[in-house]
Amino acid sequence: MNRRQFAKLSLAAMSLAPFVSVTAAINNYAQRKKIANTVSIKAHETFMSTENIEMMGDEKIAMLLYPGFYAADLVNPQFIFNSMMGAKIYLISPTNDLSPVEAGGISIVPTHTQNECPDDLDILFIPGGASGTLKAMQNKQFIDFIKAKAATAKYITSVCTGSLLLGKADLLKGKKATSHWSTLGLLTGFGAIATKERVVWDGNIVTGGGVTAGIDFGLEILAKLRGQQYAEAIQLQAEYDPAPPFDSGSPEKASPLIHNIIKDMFAPLIIDMEQNINPTT
């Protein structure tokens, strides 16, 4: 943010400050609501006129569903994408109808079938999962669909183990990418450069780490398309200010006991995923 932008937003904030003190002295609901509406309109106008913010757009965003994906992998970035005024989000069904798709104990209703998914996507997004992702890796039709849409997409993206599906679609060769920590090493089997970061950019490939990294991922995409201040505003709206109750959110920080237990729980799944990357007899 340059000095001019800072000054403009500071003045706007100062002009809105009297709202609380003024309305506090007014008991009439209609008068308070009228003042609130005026302040809100002014805030919108100020924000929309701020330099380097693209308030309106026409992005086409396809988020692919498949049975057994993790709902949080999809919902976290979807919340961010949905804040992009003018953007169109397509929740793509894995079947030829709009039946609800099971997503770890809840169901997500698709908005469009694969046949209705546009070709000229701005964002192609793949969520992750566990056994559901493994089955999706084995689904040739689903992988072929990813390949087809990726061919014309501006950004090809994923969160968590969704990057394994990008790898299966032969989209990560020579590319830096990340995944859930337990499957990060599997990316090398696809010719990718496994990179342990919350969000990894390599050209038009953007991958996020496990589950909660989907928020960081979404905000970075938003900043790229609409400007950093737009992303900062949505971060504040979402009150995304992480303060976890335990410092156990990565293998490096978790206790050896917890780390080893979770790693061992995933062991059978990792073996099956390896088999689908490099088949052996």
Residue that has been written with the tokens 């900043």 in this structure: 223
- Closest by Cα among 1, 11, 10, 137 to 69: 137
Q: What Cα–Cα distance (Å) separates residue 100 from each residue in 64, 89, 104, 139, 212?
A: 13, 17, 12, 19, 23
Concerning whether 160 is annotated as a catalytic residue, the answer is yes
Is 177 in contact with 192 (CB distance < 8 Å)?
A: yes
Task: Locate all alpha helices (DSSP H) within 56-211, ordered by sequence.
Answer: 71-81, 131-137, 140-150, 162-168
Where does 37-189 show beta strands of DSSP type E?
60-64, 88-92, 101-102, 107-108, 123-126, 155-159, 176-177
Q: CA–CA separation, 123 vs 138, rounded Å?
A: 24
Burial class (CB in 10 A: 0-12, 13-18, 19+), 11: exposed
Q: CA–CA separation, 155 vs 132, rounded Å?
A: 24
Q: CA–CA separation, 142 vs 160, rounded Å?
A: 18
Helices 29-48 and 3-16: crossing angle, nearest 10°? 180
**Which entry of 84, 126, 153, 160 is annotated as an active-site residue?**
160
**Known catalytic residues?**
160
